């Protein structure tokens, strides 16, 4: 299957993509109130790492962890083969 795209369309697409890439990184930061950082509450947390050998056991641990959560659950997955 050979699709022919006119050169004019290729040029328009290239210019459009170039402008999007160049201007996307050139936007300025929004102003933030001075009290922004002091309004953030810091909560102490406990962090543990477990090596779980089977998928079913890992799923059971995740479900149990989520059920025990009081406010939120921050879970990081690391896969090794």
In this predicted model, what pLDDT tens digit does every residue of 9-33 receive, in sequence order? 888 888 888 888 777 766 677 787 7
> Is pLDDT of 65 > 70?
yes
> Is pLDDT of 59 > 70?
yes
Buried b (16+ CB within 10 A) or exposed e, 32-55: eeeeeeeeeeeeeeeeeeeeeeee
> Is pLDDT of 40 > 80?
no
Q: What is the mean predicted confidence (pLDDT) over 52-57? A: 88
> Is pLDDT of 70 > 80?
yes
* C-alpha–C-alpha distance, residues 66 and 1, integer Å: 51
Confidence of residue 41 (pLDDT cuts 50, 70, 90): low
């Amino acid at each position: 299957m050979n699709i022919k795209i006119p050169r004019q369309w290729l040029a328009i697409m290239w210019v459009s993509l170039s402008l999007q890439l160049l201007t996307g990184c050139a936007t300025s930061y929004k102003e933030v109130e001075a009290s922004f950082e002091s309004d953030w509450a810091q909560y102490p947390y406990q962090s543990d790492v477990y090596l779980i050998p089977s998928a079913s056991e890992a799923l059971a641990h995740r479900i149990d962890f989520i059920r025990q959560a009081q406010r939120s659950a921050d879970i990081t997955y690391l896969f090794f083969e």
